[in-house]
């Protein structure tokens, strides 16, 4: 006789949930049509992304936290999702089926303007559509939605939470930066822990320092960890530190 548990597992692995394929404990490729901007009549394009659900994910019961990961310039592409597994959470979950977050890792196309467009390559208006889609389709805790990113994704993290600060419980940008004069006032309500290498010549430390100082001056809850001996790759050490995941999970939107 086939057990009920087997039947449930079969459907979780094979039946898309509103266009989402799920296999608890694994990371699968996905695609979502998103509007190119916030206008309801805007044209759409396909966003390709990886989705990891932990081994304890169930369609009922405890709602799990969502972690949105934004990669760097080197992982850009069009439906080349293996690149996205190079660093950070999408790399970690390949060997950690019990990682305590649902992890969504979209892929950003290569910036059309080259390096000058890197700080604004991630489009907040499109990323929030992915967050909305996952929150509506999966058993996600809306109080525990987080975002992190490295380099180009660090800039994207600052931009996303400055535009939608009420949607996230906490943010963790790595070797990124923002626009202190326009972002600081909107970031005072969200806990932020930034990381940067002191020897970074690709994205100088001042990029993080300026936005952190501005948010702090505006009364925000923000911290900056600087690695004195590290150059641009400040993400490997950060994502290997279990403390950051405990810190994220210690924050809920309802606590603010």
Question: What share of the chain in percent tops pLDDT 70?
Answer: 93
Does the pLDDT at position 21 exceed 70?
yes
Measured distance CA(130)–CA(156) in Å, rounded: 14
Question: What share of the chain in percent tops pLDDT 90?
Answer: 84
Phi, psi of 36 (to 5 degrees): -75, -15
Vertex 66 angle, CA 5 and 92, to 5°: 80
> Domains along the chain?
4-248 (3.40.50.1820)
- In which band, very low, low, confident or very high, does the pLDDT at 22 lie, cut at 50, 70 and 90? very high
Does the pLDDT at position 247 exceed 90?
yes
- In which band, very low, low, confident or very high, does the pLDDT at 4 lie, cut at 50, 70 and 90? very low
pLDDT tens string 180-215:
999 999 999 999 999 999 999 999 999 999 999 999
Segment 223-240 mean pLDDT: 98
CA atoms lying within 13 Å on the CB side of residue 180 = 13
Measured distance CA(205)–CA(192) in Å, rounded: 16
Where would I find the beta strands (DSSP E) of 151-256? Answer: 170-174, 192-197, 222-227
pLDDT of residue 18: 42
Contacts of 136 (CB under 8 A, 6+ apart): 18
pLDDT tens string 138-186:
999 999 999 999 999 999 999 999 999 999 999 999 999 999 999 999 9
- In which band, very low, low, confident or very high, does the pLDDT at 74 lie, cut at 50, 70 and 90? very high
pLDDT averaged over every residue in the chain: 92
pLDDT of residue 16: 36
Does the pLDDT at position 76 exceed 80?
yes
pLDDT of residue 203: 97
> Which carries the bigger pLDDT value, residue 150 or residue 42?
150
Contacts of 77 (CB under 8 A, 6+ apart): 83, 107, 109, 110
């Amino acid at each position: 006789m086939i057990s009920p548990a087997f039947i449930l597992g079969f459907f979780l692995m094979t039946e898309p949930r509103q266009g989402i394929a799920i296999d608890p404990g694994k990371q699968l490729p996905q695609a979502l049509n998103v509007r190119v901007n916030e206008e309801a009549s805007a044209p759409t394009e396909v966003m390709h992304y990886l989705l990891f659900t932990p081994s304890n994910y169930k369609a009922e019961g405890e709602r799990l936290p969502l972690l949105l990961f934004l990669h760097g310039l080197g992982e850009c592409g069009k439906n080349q999702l293996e690149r996205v597994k190079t660093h950070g959470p999408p790399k970690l979950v390949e060997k950690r089926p019990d990682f305590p977050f649902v992890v969504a890792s979209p892929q950003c196309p290569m910036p059309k303007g080259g390096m000058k467009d890197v700080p604004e390559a991630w489009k907040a208006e499109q990323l929030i559509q992915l967050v909305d889609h996952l929150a509506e389709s999966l058993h996600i805790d809306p109080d525990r939605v987080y975002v992190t990113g490295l380099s180009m994704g660090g800039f994207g993290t600052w931009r996303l939470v400055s535009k939608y600060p009420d949607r996230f419980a906490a943010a963790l940008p790595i070797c990124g930066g923002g626009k202190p004069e326009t972002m600081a006032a909107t970031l005072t309500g969200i806990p932020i822990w930034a990381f940067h290498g002191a020897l970074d010549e690709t994205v100088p430390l001042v990029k993080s320092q300026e936005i952190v100082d501005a948010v702090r001056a505006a009364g925000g809850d923000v911290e900056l960890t600087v690695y004195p001996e590290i150059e641009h790759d400040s993400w490997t050490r950060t994502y290997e530190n279990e403390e950051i995941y405990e810190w994220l999970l210690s924050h809920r939107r309802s606590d603010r």
